[in-house]
């Protein structure tokens, strides 16, 4: 019986190289360097994962809501877009330019919770809303979100000057524009306002750099500020297990969003820090600050309010009892629904 020789099997060198690269990629991918459970995971190789914890929805709205909505691209190159909400009433409405929250790292203008809240706000407060979808960190650290916000404002100006978009020419009162946002979105609105207020010649009046747009106010809902020194509420405010924001998550968001090497006393994070622009030197719009009693940010929000008032700025604040961070979008309890109605009522009064 003759022995049969098995043919030699040779492995394509490129295949071996491919396996090696996949193994190395896997080794990097399993090395998580930053994580907020359920929201964001950042790997050593720079890959970022954002689990779909909140569903994204289209701009469709039920007929009985009395609001129409549409999505419009602002900048194709950077994929900045906005979702618009407009009451169906035949009159011109104040315009809120709104920025969503999410620690600069997560969130979207298409998230169902924002879609529901802003449609309700537009209907109940009788205002038009432009909800800006800006670039997220860590892929795009600050000041990317601020730059995107300012780009959105100049886009509105261009729409008005070209008179090609009836939403602005026929539906919006361009002499009554407000910057607004919640959490990180409130930080964006604030930093845009201070940047524009510090620019030569000003930008808020119809004769300024954003003319013919005229800005009347700033609405900060649970503004996301921080600092190296802890406030009392940051140290001792006990948060429920599924809280929208705790101190650990707050610190992670700041590490991911601030420029490399910056501390939480960077002026974008801490407007009261040494080296931050003095409030006395900033032209700031009349401001409404909405503070949640059970929020880790409560004391820092109140400190900023007090400092602005001391600097002679026109600031009013409201503390919402018994609710925590982002209650108006993430909590459906009866007390949160009641406080959300109060919030909308107070925003309506502020913009009227």
Residues with a known catalytic role: 183
State the Cα–Cα distance between residues 190 and 218, nearest whole angstrom: 7
State the Cα–Cα distance between residues 72 and 174, nearest whole angstrom: 18
Cis (ω within 30 of 0) for the bond into 132?
A: no
Closest CA to 189 of 100, 306, 116: 100
- What are the percentages of helix, strand and coil residues in the chain, rounded to 5? 35, 20, 45
Written as six digits, the tokens of 253 are 């968001």
Beta strands in 137-171 (DSSP E): none
Listing from the earlier edge strand, what are the strands of the sheet with 215-221?
A: 67-75, 80-87, 128-133, 93-99, 172-182, 215-221, 287-292, 315-320
Measured from the Cβ of residue 121, the count of other Cβ atoms closer than 10 Å reads 23
CB 326, CB 245: distance < 8 Å: yes
State the Cα–Cα distance between residues 75 and 73, nearest whole angstrom: 6
Residue with tokens 């604040």, as numbered in its chain? 317
Measured from the Cβ of residue 5, the count of other Cβ atoms closer than 10 Å reads 6
CB neighbour list of residue 308: distance below 8 Å, 6 or more residues apart: 279, 284, 287, 315
């Amino acid at each position: 019986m003759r022995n049969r020789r098995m043919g030699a099997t040779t492995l394509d060198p490129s295949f071996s190289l491919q396996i090696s690269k996949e193994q190395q990629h896997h080794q990097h991918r399993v090395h998580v360097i930053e994580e907020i459970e359920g929201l964001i995971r950042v790997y050593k190789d720079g890959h970022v994962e954002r689990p779909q914890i909140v569903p994204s929805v289209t701009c469709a709205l039920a007929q009985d809501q009395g609001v129409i909505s549409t999505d419009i691209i602002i900048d194709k190159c950077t994929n900045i877009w906005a979702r618009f909400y407009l009451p169906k009433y035949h009159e011109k409405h104040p315009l809120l330019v709104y920025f969503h929250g999410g620690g600069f790292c997560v969130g979207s203008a298409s998230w169902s919770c924002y879609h529901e809240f802003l449609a309700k706000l537009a209907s109940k407060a009788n205002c038009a809303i432009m909800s800006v979808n800006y670039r997220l960190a860590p892929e795009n650290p600050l000041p990317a979100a601020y730059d995107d916000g300012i780009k959105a404002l100049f886009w509105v100006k261009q729409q008005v000057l070209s008179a090609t978009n009836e939403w602005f020419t026929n539906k919006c009162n361009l002499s009554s524009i407000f910057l607004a946002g919640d959490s990180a979105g409130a930080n964006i609105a604030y930093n845009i306002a201070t940047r524009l207020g510090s620019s030569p010649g000003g930008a808020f009046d119809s004769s300024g750099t954003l003319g013919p747009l005229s800005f009347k106010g700033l609405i900060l809902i649970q503004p996301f500020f921080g600092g190296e020194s802890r406030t009392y509420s940051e140290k001792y405010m006990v948060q429920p297990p599924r809280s929208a924001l705790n101190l650990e998550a707050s610190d992670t968001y700041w590490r991911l969003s601030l420029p490399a090497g910056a501390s939480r006393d960077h002026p974008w994070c801490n407007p009261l820090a040494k080296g931050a622009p003095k409030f006395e030197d900033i032209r700031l719009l009349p401001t409404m600050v909405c503070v949640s009693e059970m929020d880790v940010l409560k004391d820092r929000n109140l400190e900023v309010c007090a400092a602005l008032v001391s600097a002679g700025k026109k600031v009013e604040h409201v503390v919402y009892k018994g609710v925590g961070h982002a209650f108006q979008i993430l909590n459906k309890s009866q007390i949160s629904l009641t406080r959300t109605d109060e919030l909308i009522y107070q925003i309506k009064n502020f913009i009227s």
